[in-house]
């Protein structure tokens, strides 16, 4: 085919759009200010779970499509994708299992021992020995309700490089340190432009519907006996996500543009995660900050035209779910580009 396409952005959205176009025979070139690990995507915990994104009617189908791709990728060790047991808790109220989670075999955790999946007909119980489960129940007993399901986890330290390599292998080209003030600056040889600029779209296309939902995490060493992810969305937001070589402790979600890590916030995150897991406070290996590109009117995934008449497909505003929606959105971007 050899149709040239320019993709702005090398976070998870831009890289996956790049892979999908390049593997379908397009001559795909990525242009980006920052690449992979340096982007917001590089700061993410990167668990599959719809969170802090609108509108639900579109988000859930994109998320479920992405889920299926990620389940396949989890068979490839090199991808950095694996399946993990997610234990989603509440400290304050009876948690509802979302409708979309029921076909994925989500299972309520009992209120007494919140880490113990309730034994109900048709509910597939998460793995682990009885001894381990009781240990977990003791650890997490201050949560009042929860549910469990198996979801894909993308270890960003591996996955983003895997995507970049897969894109390059398919014939793609990456140009780093390129910052556009407007999309019309892109070379005229590209008559198709894909905008995956994340929060950068605020300035790039003057979209002031975008809000930076700042997230800070602490990277700590692997924690003995914690092989499942623990998430509690009640304030204070708390999650502990074990990866292949370390563990991500989170988190925060504040309206802010501040990229600097705040040491007091890191201390608060580590204290809350350690309290929840009933472990001694671990050393902090690194702190990361990213700006979730939340868009008040919902993800912008649409075909439009630049001032000079060229076709552009926008795909940004994925909020706290860029990884969760990525393959579903990229497939729709390609469909829109081919109209
Ligand atoms: C702490 C934290 C935890 C998270 N956890 C999860 C999670 O568990 N699961 C999940 O699904 N999501 C999670 N997210 C959200 C997820 O990280 C984002 O939705 C996702 O990274 C957005 O990806 P993106 O590719 O659209 O944007 P980004 O990763 O921000 O990439 C944008 C790209 O565009 C480039 N760019 C921007 N402006 C310009 C310009 N003018 N010129 C050239 N290049 C430009 C940037 O350099 C960059 O390459 C989390 C986010 C944070 C901060």
pLDDT attached to residue 131: 46
What are the C-alpha distances in Å from 184 to residues 4, 18, 95, 279?
15, 20, 48, 53
The answer, yes or no, to whether any atom of ligand 1 lies below 6 A from the CB of 329, is no
Kindly give the distance from the C-alpha atom of residue 231 to the centroid of ligand 1, in angstroms, as a whole number: 20
- Structure confidence at residue 261 (pLDDT): 98
Looking at residue 112, what is its pLDDT?
A: 39
Closest approach atom of ligand 1 to CA 201: 38
Find the 82 Cα to ligand 1 centroid distance in Å.
Answer: 21
Report which protein residue has its CA nearest ligand 1's atom 10. Answer: 321
Domain 83-151+212-294 has CATH 3.40.50.300: no
Q: Is the CB of 317 under 6 A from ligand 1?
A: no
What are the residue ranges spanned by the domains of the chain?
4-46+155-209+296-337, 83-151+212-294
Could you list the mean pLDDT of each consecutive 10-residue stretch along the chain, which spans 339 residues? Answer: 94 98 98 96 97 97 98 98 96 92 92 43 43 50 87 98 98 98 98 98 98 98 94 93 98 97 98 94 98 98 98 98 98 95
State the pairing for strand pair 27-35/4-10.
Answer: parallel
Distance 199 CA to ligand 1 centre (A): 7
Q: Is the CB of 39 under 6 A from ligand 1?
A: yes
Atom 9 in ligand 1: residue holding the nearest Cα: 46
- Ligand 1 in contact with 8 (CB < 6 A)? yes
Phi, psi dihedral angles at 261 (to 5 degrees): -75, 135
Nearest atom (ligand 1) to Cα of 181: 41
Asked whether 66 lines ligand 1 (CB < 6 A), one says no
Q: Contact at 8 Å (CB) between 99 and 147?
A: no
Q: Do domains 4-46+155-209+296-337 and 83-151+212-294 have the same CATH topology?
A: no
> Does ligand 1 come within 6 angstroms of the Cβ of 217?
yes
How far, CA to CA in Å, does 114 sit from each of 100, 130, 233, 254, 278?
22, 14, 15, 28, 14
Q: Can you tell me which atom of ligand 1 is nearest the CA of 252? A: 1
Each residue's pLDDT tens digit, 266-314 = 999 999 999 999 999 999 999 999 999 999 999 999 999 999 999 999 9
Instruction: Give the fold, CATH level 3, of 4-46+155-209+296-337.
Output: Rossmann fold (3.40.50)
What are the Cα distances from residue 191, in Å, to 221, 235, 308? 47, 46, 10
Mutational test site, ligand 1, from 17, 19, 32, max ligand atoms within 8 Å of CB:
32
pTM equals: 0.94
Ligand 1 mean position, distance from CA 100 (Å): 24
The full 3-state SS of the chain, as one line of letters, equals CCCEEEEEEECHHHHHHHHHHHHCCCEEEEEEEEEHHHCHHHHCCCECCCCCCCCHHHHHHHHHHHHHHHHHHCCCHHHCEEEEEEEEEECCCCCCCCHHHCCCCCEEECCCCCCCECCCCCCCCCCCCHHHHHHHHHHCCCCCEEEEEEEEEECHHHHHHHHHHHHHHCCCEEECCCCCCCHHHCCCCCCEEEECCHHHHHHHCCCCCEEEEEEEEEEEECCCCCCCEEEECCCCCEEEEECCCEEEEECCCEECCCCCCCHHHHHHHHHHHHHHHCCCCCCCCEEEEEEEEEECCCCEEEEEECCCCCEEEEEECEHHHHHHHHHHHHHHHHHHHCC
The gap from C-alpha 225 to its chain's centroid, in whole angstroms, comes to 24
Contact predicate 44/251, CB 8 Å: no
The Å distance, Cα 141 to ligand 1 centre, comes to 34
Q: How far is the CA of 43 from the centre of ligand 1 (A)?
A: 8
């Amino acid at each position: 085919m050899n149709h040239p396409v320019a993709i702005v952005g090398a976070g998870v959205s831009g890289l996956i759009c790049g892979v999908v176009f390049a593997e379908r025979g397009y001559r795909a070139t990525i242009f980006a200010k920052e690449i992979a690990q340096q982007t917001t995507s590089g700061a993410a915990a990167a668990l599959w779970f719809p969170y802090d994104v609108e509108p639900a009617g579109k988000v859930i189908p994109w998320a479920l499509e992405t889920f299926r791709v990620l389940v396949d990728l989890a068979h490839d060790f090199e991808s950095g994708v694996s399946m993990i047991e997610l234990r989603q808790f509440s400290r304050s109220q009876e948690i509802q299992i979302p409708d979309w989670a029921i076909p994925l075999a989500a299972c309520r955790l009992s209120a007494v021992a919140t880490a113990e999946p309730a034994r109900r007909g048709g509910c597939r119980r998460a793995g682990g020995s009885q001894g381990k489960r009781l240990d977990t129940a003791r650890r997490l007993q201050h949560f009042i309700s929860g549910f469990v399901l198996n979801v894909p986890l993308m270890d960003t330290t591996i996955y983003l490089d895997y995507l970049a390599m897969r894109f390059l292998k398919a014939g793609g080209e990456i140009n780093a340190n390129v910052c556009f003030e407007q999309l019309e600056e892109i070379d005229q040889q590209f008559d198709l432009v894909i905008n995956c600029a994340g929060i950068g779209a605020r300035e790039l296309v003057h979209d002031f519907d975008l809000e930076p939902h700042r997230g800070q995490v602490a990277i700590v060493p692997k924690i003995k006996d914690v092989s499942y992810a623990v998430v509690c969305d009640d304030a204070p937001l708390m999650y502990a996500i074990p990866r292949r070589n370390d563990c991500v402790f989170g988190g925060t979600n504040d309206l802010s543009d501040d990229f600097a890590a705040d040491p007091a916030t890191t201390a608060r995150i580590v204290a809350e995660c350690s309290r929840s897991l009933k472990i001694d406070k671990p050393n902090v290996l690194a702190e990361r900050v990213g700006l979730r590109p939340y868009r008040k009117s919902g993800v912008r995934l649409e075909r439009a035209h630049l001032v000079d008449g060229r076709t552009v497909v926008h795909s940004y505003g994925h909020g706290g779910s860029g990884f969760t929606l990525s393959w579903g959105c990229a497939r729709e971007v390609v469909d829109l580009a081919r109209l």
